[in-house]
Amino acid sequence: PQITQAEWDAKRALASLNTHGASFVQAATPFLTDLVKAVEDGGDMPRKLRIFVATGAQVPRGLAERAGRVLGADVCGAFGTTETCLGALSAPGDEPA
């Protein structure tokens, strides 16, 4: 299922990811930062999350590495436009640029 929130709340998002067994997230880089901080602050790690595709801004390498450790997921960057959706996407295991 697609999981959405009318108003962003990282702790609620973690609960939803676990409730629905989400394995994939595509969201802007600030949402990744918020999820990492929520887990570091005691929130439940998303148990089935495998891939987080960060869009909208470049993902700092340190954040990607930290998120991988904290969330237990591969972090991929993606770029595109509103008109074309994704134009480029990295894959887990790709060397950082």
Asked whether residue 17 is domain-assigned, the answer is: yes
Structural Rg of the chain based on CA atoms: 13
Name residue 28's beta-bridge partners.
55
Is residue 2 situated within a structural domain? no
Q: What is the pTM of this model?
A: 0.85
Q: Is residue 75 part of a domain?
A: yes
The model's pLDDT over 19-41, given as tens digits with 9 standing for 90+, comes to 999 999 999 999 999 999 999 99
* In a domain? residue 25: yes
Containing structural domain, residue 75: 10-89
Q: Is 95 part of a structural domain of the chain? A: no
pLDDT of residue 56 exceeding 90, the answer is no
Find the helix packing angle between 29-40 and 10-20, rounded to 10°.
90
CATH of the domain at 53: 3.40.50.980
The total of structural domains in the chain comes to 1
Residue 82 pLDDT class (50, 70, 90 cuts) = low
What is the model's pLDDT at position 83? 62
